DNA sequence: GACTACGTTCAGTATGTTGTGAATCTGGGA
DNA sequence: TCCCAGATTCACAACATACTGAACGTAGTC
C-alpha cells in the first residue's frame, strides 16, 4: 500500500487536471501531464515525464510546448548536463488564471470590436430602413457591452488577489448592513 | 448596395460570434447561427434560420438545443400555429456571461475539490515520506486556492454589473490617491 | 570535426467531431 | 381517428485532432 496510495493520489490529481484542462480548451492529456508535474513538485526531464505518464516522447514534448505559452510550465536547463532540459510546474494559480483570462478576454474583445466597427461602417453606408436601424442598435449595444467588459477585465487581471478579497468582503458587509 | 451592406454587416457579426463561440468551447457554427439571430433581432422559426444560414435543418435544430441550456436562445411557441416554434436570441450579455462562468466555474471547483479530498485521503493512508508530505502540501495549496476561487466566483456571478463598476472605480481612485 | 545525447518535426493511423439527408416521431387540427 | 406540419433522431460521410515511432536536427563533449 505504500507506493500505491501515493500513486493513487497522483493519478487522482492528474485526472482532475486533465478534465479541467479540457474545460479551458486545452488538450486533455496535456492537463494530465501537467497534473503529474504539479503533484511531483520537482523538475522533471522529458524522459522522466515519459516514464511517469506513459505517453510517447513526442507527445510530452508537444505538451510542454503547448503549456509554456500559458506559463504553466517552466523550462530549466542546467549547465554541465548537455542539452537536457527540466520542466517545472508553475504553482501560482492566481497568476496563471489572470494570464489566461487576460489572453482569452483580449482576444475576444479584439475579434468583436473589429467586427462591430466594420459592421457599423456597412450599416452607415446602407440606406436607413427599419432593419438597418434595428441592427445598428444591436451593434451599439454590443459595443457598449465590450467597452464595459474591457474595463472589468483590466481590473480583474491586474488586481492582486488581496485587493480582490478586500473588495469582496467590503461589499459583502455593505450589503448586509443594507438589509432591514 | 442596399441589401448587400446589411448582409455584409450581418455576416461580419455572425463570423465574429462564430469565432467567439469557439473560444468558449461551443461549436463554431452554432455561434454563427446565434449571431444571425442576434443581429436580425426578431424571433425566427427553424425554417427561417435554415434559409438565413444555409445549414441543414438538423444542424439548426441541434444548434438550438445546444444554445438553450446557456440561455443564449429562447423558444417561443405561439398558439394557433401548430407545433411551430420561434427562437429569439438573448441579448443580455451580462447575464449570459455570469451564467456561463457560474456553470463552468462550479464544475471546475467540483471536479477539483472532489479529487483533492480523495487524494488527501490516500496520502493520509500512506506512510509519511518526503514525497508524501511534499504532495500533501501541494494538495493543501490547491484546496486553499479553490476555496478562495469559490468566494470570488460567487461574488462575480451574483453581483450586478453596477455594483462591479462601482467597486472598480472606487478601487481605481483609491490606488491613484496612494501614488506619491 | 565527429560522436552522442538529447529535443523536435513529420507522416501516418486511430479516434472524435461536425454537418447532412432520410427516417422517425409528435402535437394539433379536421 | 387520421392527417399534416413541423421538430427530432439517426447513420453516415467528410473533416479535424491526438498520439505514435521513426527520421531528423543540433548543442555539447571528446
Domain locations along chain B: 2-91, 94-178
Cβ of B59 less than 7 A from strand D: no
Nearest CA-CA distance, residue B61 and chain A, Å = 24
| Shortest CA to C1' contact from A25: nucleotide | D17
Q: Determine the pLDDT at residue B81.
A: 86
Q: Determine the pLDDT at residue B178.
A: 56
State whether CATH 1.10.10.10 applies to domain A2-91: yes
A75 forms beta bridges with A87
Q: Determine the pLDDT at residue A175.
A: 66
Which residue positions in chain B have pLDDT lower than 70?
1-3, 175-180
Q: Order of strands across the sheet with B73-76?
A: B44-45, B86-89, B73-76
DSSP characters for chain A? -HHHHHHHHHHHHHHHHHHHHHHTT--HHHHHHHHHHHHH-S-EEHHHHHHHH---HHHHHHHHHHHGGGTSEEEE--TTSTT--EEEE---HHHHHHHHHHHHHHHHHHHHHHHHHHHHHHHHHSPP-HHHHHHHHHHHHHHHHHHHHHHHHHHHHHS-HHHHHHHHHHHHHHHHHH--
Q: Determine the pLDDT at residue A101.
A: 97
CB contact under 8 A, A39 and B138: yes
A126 vs B contacts (CB less than 8 Å): 1-2, 5-6, 9
The 10 Å CB-count burial string (b at 16+, else e) for B48-59 is bbbebbebeeeb
Which residue positions in chain A have pLDDT lower than 50?
none
CB contact under 8 A, A112 and B20: yes
Q: Determine the pLDDT at residue A176.
A: 62
Q: Determine the pLDDT at residue A172.
A: 84
Amino acid at each position: 500500500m505504500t507506493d500505491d496510495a501515493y500513486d493513487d493520489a497522483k493519478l487522482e490529481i492528474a485526472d482532475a487536471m486533465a478534465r479541467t484542462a479540457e474545460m479551458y480548451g486545452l488538450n486533455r492529456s496535456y492537463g494530465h501531464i501537467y497534473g503529474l508535474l504539479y503533484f511531483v513538485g520537482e523538475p522533471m526531464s522529458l524522459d522522466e515525464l515519459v516514464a511517469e505518464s506513459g505517453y510517447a516522447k513526442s507527445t510530452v514534448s508537444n505538451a510542454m510546448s503547448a503549456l509554456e505559452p500559458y506559463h504553466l510550465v517552466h523550462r530549466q536547463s542546467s549547465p554541465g548536463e548537455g542539452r537536457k532540459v527540466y520542466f517545472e510546474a508553475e504553482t501560482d494559480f492566481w497568476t496563471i488564471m489572470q494570464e489566461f483570462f487576460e489572453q482569452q478576454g483580449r482576444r475576444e474583445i479584439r475579434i468583436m470590436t473589429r467586427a462591430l466597427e466594420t459592421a457599423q461602417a456597412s450599416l452607415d453606408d446602407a440606406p436607413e430602413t427599419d432593419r438597418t436601424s434595428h441592427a445598428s442598435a444591436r451593434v451599439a449595444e454590443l459595443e457598449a457591452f465590450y467597452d464595459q467588459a474591457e474595463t472589468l477585465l483590466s481590473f480583474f487581471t491586474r488586481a492582486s488577489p488581496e485587493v480582490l478579497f478586500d473588495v469582496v468582503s467590503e461589499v459583502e458587509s455593505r450589503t448586509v448592513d443594507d438589509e432591514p
